[in-house]
Amino acid sequence: MQFVEHIGNGLPEALSLRVESNGNTGLARCFRLLSGTARVQKSGGRAIHLDTFVPNPILTGTARDRLEALGDKLGEGLSCDDLAELCILNRRRNEQFFLALGDELAWLLMYQKKGEHIASFVYLYRTLEAVAFSFPMIYATKARDFRLSFEQIKKNFSGKENFGELGVFKQFVNAISDGELQSVVYQIDVSGLDSGRIAKLKSTLERICPGLMKPGRSLISVDSDTGLVTIQFLAMPDFIVSVRNAFVHLQSGSSKNIAANEIYDIEDFLRQIVREGLDFFCTVFLVVCEAMADQPIIPNPALSAASARP
């Protein structure tokens, strides 16, 4: 997978995707991908513009507008030039990790763009696996209080609840979830189905996600009147793991499988999971970036000059 720069000017060099640019870093690629301002090209193929702005797919505007909108979601908000400075400050930190993460996101977004939703779901899971240990470590080591940093690492990596798929990541998601994040929900719209098929979907989800749909403490709900499946922020990692296991595996006699004809339309179901899962990932990514930016950002005159360069 190759990144293709299609923006001639208007962006800081540190956010450039040009191969010869010193700014072509993994973190810059992630910012460009999530803001919908990147083009990628498979070997021998044509360049594809990945134009979906993940936090708000209906957002339009120039590349700089989109990057400003992405930066605005970081803490008190970062400008496009601030994002560039963040890339510069972290150029030699976790670079291979962010380059690999950018590749996973690129494949995910490319298959999403092409409407190949099973493939994009696979890359959504791979993306979460890619960050499962790294995000908790990056976040913890950016703490201003090293004692609290140690406590955060110990909490993330110890305890029986951290075993299993994405166990550390799920603990990390719980650790960063303040009151605001705990109120975030994601929704899958199945309002086009009749009540019988919605009831069947609910029964399937109760079977494959029993821990998330406990009576009195349900993190996933299915409203037959509105036709909406609602997944709480804290439940998203477990939900994606459960759907992956149930769909990918077809073990004889297992109650956790999804039969080929059991979901109303597996392509549409996974399409909506990928859309909401990307939104979830972007939220966690920005929380980590906010921790990375939790230091004085000194304006770099060269950035402004690069932005204004014709």
Name the 3-class secondary structure at 253. Answer: coil
Whole-number Å distance between alpha carbons of 248 and 258:
9
Mean pLDDT value across residues 243-269: 81
26-72 tens-digit pLDDT: 999 999 999 999 999 988 889 999 998 998 888 888 999 999 999 99
Three-state secondary-structure class, residue 229? strand
Structure tokens given for 47: 């360049």
Q: How far apart are CA 239 and CA 218, in angstroms?
A: 12
pLDDT value, residue 157: 54
Q: Is the pLDDT of residue 233 over 80?
A: yes
Share of the chain above pLDDT 90, in %: 52
Q: Edge-to-edge, what's the strand order for the sheet holding 220-223? A: 185-189, 228-232, 220-223
pLDDT score for 189: 97
Instruction: Give tens-digit pLDDT for 158-211.
Output: 555 545 567 888 888 988 887 788 889 999 999 999 999 999 999 999 999 999
* Run of H or E residues at 174: helix 167-176
pLDDT of residue 301: 37
Polymer length of the chain: 310
Supply the pTM of this predicted model.
Answer: 0.86
Are the C-beta atoms of residues 281 and 288 closer than 8 Å to each other? no
Q: Is 215's pLDDT higher than 60?
A: yes
Q: Which of 58-72, 127-141, 241-255, 287-301 has the lowest mean pLDDT?
A: 287-301
Q: What are phi and psi of 231, to 5 degrees?
A: -115, 125
What rounded mean pLDDT belongs to the chain? 84
CB 67 within 8 A of CB 15: yes
Q: Are 156 and 140 in contact (CB under 8 A)?
A: yes
Q: Tell me the average pLDDT across 278-302.
A: 74
pLDDT value for 217: 86
| pLDDT score for 162 | 46
Beta bridge mates, 186? 231
Q: How far apart are CA 138 and CA 152, in angstroms?
A: 11
